[in-house]
Amino acid sequence: MNIALIAHDLKKPDIVRFAIAYEPILKQHHLYATGTTGQRIMEATGLSIQRFQSGPLGGDQQIGAMIADNEMDMVIFFRDPLTAQPHEPDISALMRLSDVYQIPLATNMASAELLMHALARGELHWRDIVKDRDTDGK
């Protein structure tokens, strides 16, 4: 599966701890992240991550494009709901695309852990079926 990892500045330590805790599961998948988040996770773990631009410089939109092209299967986005973000429209668009295309989206540690456990149990293989159906043109 293709999994995006994103975190606002004050949540970056949390997503790094999350990646360390779930490294055995995450290393079995293709990982993508916005700039600094990806760098910090790679420095703290042995995970290989394709990094995009930072969120305010277009990284959220790059991940959104993958969602729209049915190339992203899950988004882990540790948002900071108490701090104003200058790129709030990009964040809203990413979340809207996740809803439109039925992409599992976790915006905090609790929901992200649920997705990791579901992933480990094989409960998200429906994404493979959706992708296969889309590429077959049906």
Q: What CATH number did the domain enclosing 62 receive?
A: 3.40.50.1380
pLDDT 10s per residue in the chain (138 long)? 999 999 999 999 999 999 999 999 999 999 999 999 999 999 999 999 999 998 888 899 999 999 999 999 999 999 998 888 877 888 899 999 999 999 999 999 999 999 999 999 998 877 777 776 665 554
The answer to whether 55 touches 90, Cβ cutoff 8 Å, is: yes
Our count of domains for the chain comes to 1
Tell me whether residue 99 is one of the annotated catalytic residues.
Answer: no
pLDDT of residue 136: 58
pLDDT of residue 133: 64
pLDDT of residue 138: 46
Instruction: Return the exposure string of 53-72: e unless at least 16 CB atoms fall within 10 Å of the residue's CB, then b.
Output: ebbeebbbbbbbebbeebeb
Q: What is the pTM of this model?
A: 0.91
Indicate which residue of 9, 14, 60, 69 is catalytic: 60
Q: Which domain holds residue 122?
A: 2-136
Round to whole Å and give the CA distance between 19 and 94.
21
